[in-house]
A and B are shown apart, each in its own frame.
Chain A
Amino acid sequence: MPFPLHVPRVNNNDDVVKITDLSVKEGDFVRRGQIVGSVETDKAVVDVEAESEGHVLKVIVRKGDTSPVGSVFLWLGAGADEPIPETPAPMAATAATVAVAGQPTAKARALLKELGVSAADIPCAGDRLTVADIENWLAEPGRGVSSRSRAPAPETEEIPDVDGEYEELSPEAHGMMMTVQWHRDRAAPAYLEIEYDTGPWQEHASRFAKRHKLMLPPLMPLMALRLVEIAKATPRLNAAIVDGRCYRYRPVNLGFTVQVGEALYLTVVRDAQDMDARRFLDAMGDVQRRAMAHKLRASELAGATIAFSSMARWNVSRHIPILPPRTGLIVAHAAPRDSARAVLGVTYDHRLLSGFDVVRALERLAQPPEADL
């Protein structure tokens, strides 16, 4: 019986993705886990893997298409000659893409809701209704909906009066730009930090590494796991402000920054609240190795509910991280070499958390668990 492989969701913000590569064709036999293509959003390029083995019966998408998340990427079958169900064929797939034309992006939907305005009232300049479309519409003379506090964004920036040329941003750089814009436009970020004594944590990590004969120093992963445990015990930390309301996440999905060359990934270990220390370290090790090889899965690049970042490698004394979209806090660790001073800081969304909440969490994080893991 034929079965579809769907266009994956890469992140919560993007309901469509661009098909950037197809590496199989009809008639090919693919194995489970084999890469059949890749898709791109503003944030990342990720591989699409076959979820089961089978013969490629029909490839629905085309390279360069913009396709809705969840639509059929291709059909697989146990036999090479199985008929596929009556579903979008290549032209129909294009129609499916066209069907989303004019629909608001996730950010535009949030803004429409905030304004109490219907998408149907606003002209759409491109394929989808964007925040820029709404802001242009708001800026029109005599527009009744002008009570919004923030000023409309300028339509375009002037080109600098100095000779130069544009260079396209890489997907990673574009993703960082979008993250920073969320931090600026949506959150009320604040930062505070405490100094802490590294001794107890170093001893705890050293004992753990010795007991498990670890190759990689476990200090940062163990501190990240401690953050997971604190978030599990304090649900308000594992939350975000969405549409003016507190959205409490059920799982604790730990985001952890990994710098690979010039790319900075926020890798994600999902459902970390259910893991013991060894399982968590193994999961984080797997994700970090895939990051190093630029082979992260879509699920490992999205969905962080809380985050941890360390710049100890660069010997910085203070590190104020950008808040990842739809999280309430990100912990920053800094431990300058040749200094007795080590710092745990937090960037947090002040709409969600108070300084008191954050200091209490940091004080707990500064202490390793009483029992050895």
Chain B
Amino acid sequence: MNLDRNAIKAAIRAKVIELARALKMDASGIGDEDVIPATGLLDSTAILELVVWFEQAYDLPLRQDEINIDNLGSINAMTDFLLARKGRAPGS
């Protein structure tokens, strides 16, 4: 598991693009701060798939109350949340 910040962001972006492609949407231009549910690129099932992938890829079991916009709403938010939970400084 690579916990380098840029590697995490790249992995999340790749997953978002993959899930969007399955819905015939192009997410290649998504920004790090874009609120993923608000972009309209992913439907509710795809967002759920993203969350489950995130849990499994980073061995990060989530409580339901942690699944919110503040923690997982954007590529940057997901990265910060992961690094904080793994005990790494978000900026490192």
Chain A interfacial positions (CB closer than 8 Å to B): 209, 212-217, 219-220, 259, 282, 285-286, 288-289, 292-293, 312-313
Q: Is the pair A282, B49 in contact by a Cβ cutoff of 8 Å?
A: no
Complex: A288 Cα to B46 Cα, angstroms: 12
Query: Can you name the residue of chain A whose Cβ is closest to the Cβ of B67?
Result: A215
Q: Is the pair B68, A215 in contact by a Cβ cutoff of 8 Å?
A: yes
B residues 45-86 in Cβ contact with A at 8 Å: 45, 47-49, 51-52, 55-56, 62, 64-65, 67-73
Query: Can you name the residue of chain B whose Cβ is closest to the Cβ of A279?
Result: B64
Chain B positions within 8 Å of A292 at CB level: 48-49, 52
Contact of A214 among B45, B49, B55, B68 (CB under 8 A): B68
Query: Can you name the residue of chain B whose Cβ is closest to the Cβ of A292?
Result: B52
Complex: A259 Cα to B44 Cα, angstroms: 12
Q: Is the interface of A mostly helix, strand, loop or mixed?
A: helix
How distant is B49 from chain A, measured CB to nearest CB, in Å? 6
Query: Can you name the residue of chain A whose Cβ is closest to the Cβ of B68?
Result: A213
Q: Is the pair A259, B51 in contact by a Cβ cutoff of 8 Å?
A: no
Contact of B47 among A213, A216, A219, A282 (CB under 8 A): A216
Chain B positions within 8 Å of A285 at CB level: 48, 64, 67
Let me know if B43 is at the binding interface, CB within 8 A.
yes
Q: Is the pair A215, B64 in contact by a Cβ cutoff of 8 Å?
A: no
Complex: A214 Cα to B65 Cα, angstroms: 9
Contact of B64 among A209, A217, A282, A313 (CB under 8 A): A282
12 further contact pairs, Cβ within 8 A, besides A215-B73, A217-B43, A285-B48: A213-B70, A213-B73, A215-B37, A215-B67, A215-B68, A215-B71, A216-B67, A289-B52, A292-B48, A292-B52, A312-B43, A313-B43
Chain A positions within 8 Å of B67 at CB level: 215-216, 285
How distant is A38 from chain B, measured CB to nearest CB, in Å? 19
How distant is A45 from chain B, measured CB to nearest CB, in Å? 19
Q: Is the pair B64, A286 in contact by a Cβ cutoff of 8 Å?
A: yes
Q: Is the pair A213, B69 in contact by a Cβ cutoff of 8 Å?
A: yes
Q: Is the pair A293, B56 in contact by a Cβ cutoff of 8 Å?
A: yes
Complex: A212 Cα to B67 Cα, angstroms: 11
How distant is A295 from chain B, measured CB to nearest CB, in Å? 10
Query: Can you name the residue of chain B whose Cβ is closest to the Cβ of A209?
Result: B37
Complex: A219 Cα to B47 Cα, angstroms: 14
Complex: A217 Cα to B68 Cα, angstroms: 11
Chain B positions within 8 Å of A213 at CB level: 68-70, 73
**Can you name 28 A-B pairs with beta carbons within 8 Å?**
A209-B37, A212-B68, A213-B68, A213-B69, A214-B37, A214-B68, A214-B69, A215-B47, A215-B67, A215-B68, A215-B71, A215-B73, A216-B44, A216-B47, A217-B47, A282-B64, A282-B65, A285-B64, A286-B64, A289-B48, A289-B51, A289-B55, A289-B62, A292-B48, A292-B49, A293-B52, A293-B55, A313-B43
How distant is A212 from chain B, measured CB to nearest CB, in Å? 7
Given contacts A288-B48, A289-B48, contact A217 B70 (CB under 8 A): no
Q: Is the pair B48, A216 in contact by a Cβ cutoff of 8 Å?
A: yes
How distant is A285 from chain B, measured CB to nearest CB, in Å? 5
Chain A positions within 8 Å of B65 at CB level: 282
Complex: A247 Cα to B66 Cα, angstroms: 40
